Amino acid sequence: MTVTLSDVAREAGVSLATASRAINGSASRTVGAELRDRVLAAAVRLRYTPDANAQAMARGRTTSLGLLVHNIADPYFSAIAAGVAQSADAAGLQLTLASSENDPAREIEMVHLLRRQRARAIVLAGGRSDDVAVNDHLRLALADFRSSGGSAALIGQPILGVNTVVINNAQGASSLARAMHDLGYRRFAVLGGPEDYLSARERRDAFIFTLRELGTTIADADIVSTSMDHAGGQEAMRILLAAGTLPEMIFAVADTMALGALGVMREAGVRVPQDVALAGFNDISTLRDVTPALTTVRLPLHELGHMATELALSGSGDEPEIRTVHTELVIRDSTPRLR
């Protein structure tokens, strides 16, 4: 059914070894021109393709890179994935994509799967939680993976002992807070995402902290915790609306959340930015042209994918390598000057 290298060798009238050398051609290319041509011709004639699995076995290393995301349908992750895919391709690696659906247990499971597959490296995209048990398991899974020859990198918080691209969430949220204060806003609400999700918390806390430094405090009731996605934005906004008093400005710790909130507000007849200002985080590209243009904190998502891939592939010395990415504030129409 499948044509193997032996078939090619026989067809070309050479030994298996010669056929292998002629077709692979990589290392010490010591094969006569004539034989090489015969082999290549035979390979084409038979429509032969080397079996990557067999090669992996024989060579002792695979050619695949694992990418682990929370949810590939989320524009945040798909943008990162695009970067990783590009880098992987440039490195001649196949990308194995695993979408954990926001379930830490599945995430751990998939690290194990990637180990079974003997992936060269794993890129873990998406921030970490502060669940000690989960982190311990994940750390262990990653240690196993690395001990069986793989390397890993993650995008998020440097708490798992592997190379990490750290996003300076605090810086972004802080500069956003300052800018909002400068624009005249004084009464805020925060759609803060999951309580145990570090990226969300970093953004939320930095925002709150900076405002407090500027003399403005946010009531607890105006800080609402939900999931960090579209549905979470909707839910949080509903809670806020139900509470009654609308703030002057709402900070959603992710653009997708801001989007969900936007939808709920529209249904409720609340206008942005006339009735309330709104800002997000990430600057996902799909949203750059909508009205009102959303104020946000930009992250170089594509680039993040590149960096993480590079870090993942660079192997790991004893000390995990940390690279910090800074954010960029993008003020748009959704947060006009207040008075």
Partner DNA sequence: TTGTAGGCGTTATCAC
Partner DNA sequence: GTGATAACGCCTACAA
Report d(CA 316, CA 325) in Å as an integer. Answer: 19
Helix (H) or strand (E) holding 79: helix 75-90
**Quick one: which segment of 25-33, 64-72, 120-128, 165-173 binds a second copy (CB under 8 A)?**
64-72
What token pair was written down for 116? Answer: 């079974």
Phi, psi of 95 (to 5 degrees): -100, 120
Phi, psi of 125 (to 5 degrees): -100, 150
Residue 82 binding a second copy, by CB under 8 A? yes
Interface residue with a second copy, options 24, 78, 135, 216 (CB under 8 A): 78
Residue 79 binding a second copy, by CB under 8 A? yes
DSSP H helical ranges for 150-276:
169-182, 198-213, 230-243, 255-268
Q: 322 near 164, Cβ under 8 Å?
A: yes
Name the site residues for DNA (rule: CB under 7 A). Answer: 2, 4-6, 14-18, 20-21, 23-24, 26-27, 30-32, 34-36, 48-51, 54-55, 57-60
Using CB under 8 A as the binding rule, the residues of this chain from 250 to 269 that contact a second copy are: 256, 259-260, 262-263, 266
Interface residue with a second copy, options 103, 136, 144, 195 (CB under 8 A): 144
Half-sphere exposure for 228 (CA within 13 Å, toward CB): 30
Using CB under 8 A as the binding rule, the residues of this chain from 161 to 220 that contact a second copy are: none
**Residue 261 CB, nearest approach to DNA (Å):** 49
Q: Which does 216 bind (CB under 5 to 8 A by kind): DNA, a second copy, none?
A: none
Interface residue with a second copy, options 6, 49, 217, 314 (CB under 8 A): 49
Residue 52 binding a second copy, by CB under 8 A? yes
Which DSSP letter does residue 334 get? T
Q: 289 near 332, Cβ under 8 Å?
A: no
**Residue 92 CB, nearest approach to DNA (Å):** 14
Report d(CA 121, CA 332) in Å as an integer. Answer: 39
Interface residue with a second copy, options 14, 22, 39, 98 (CB under 8 A): 98
Q: Which residue has the tokens 């060269």?
A: 120
**Residue 53 CB, nearest approach to DNA (Å):** 8
Q: Which does 129 bind (CB under 5 to 8 A by kind): a second copy, DNA, none?
A: none
Tell me whether residue 21 or residue 204 sits nearer to DNA (CB atom): 21
Helix (H) or strand (E) holding 99: strand 94-99
What token pair was written down for 63? Answer: 């050619």
Enumerate residues 6+ apart whose C-beta is below 8 A from 339: 184
Binding residues for a second copy, per CB under 8 A?
Answer: 1-3, 47, 49-54, 56-57, 62, 64, 67, 71-75, 77-79, 81-82, 85-86, 89, 94-99, 101, 112-113, 115-118, 144, 147-149, 230, 256, 259-260, 262-263, 266, 272, 284-293, 302
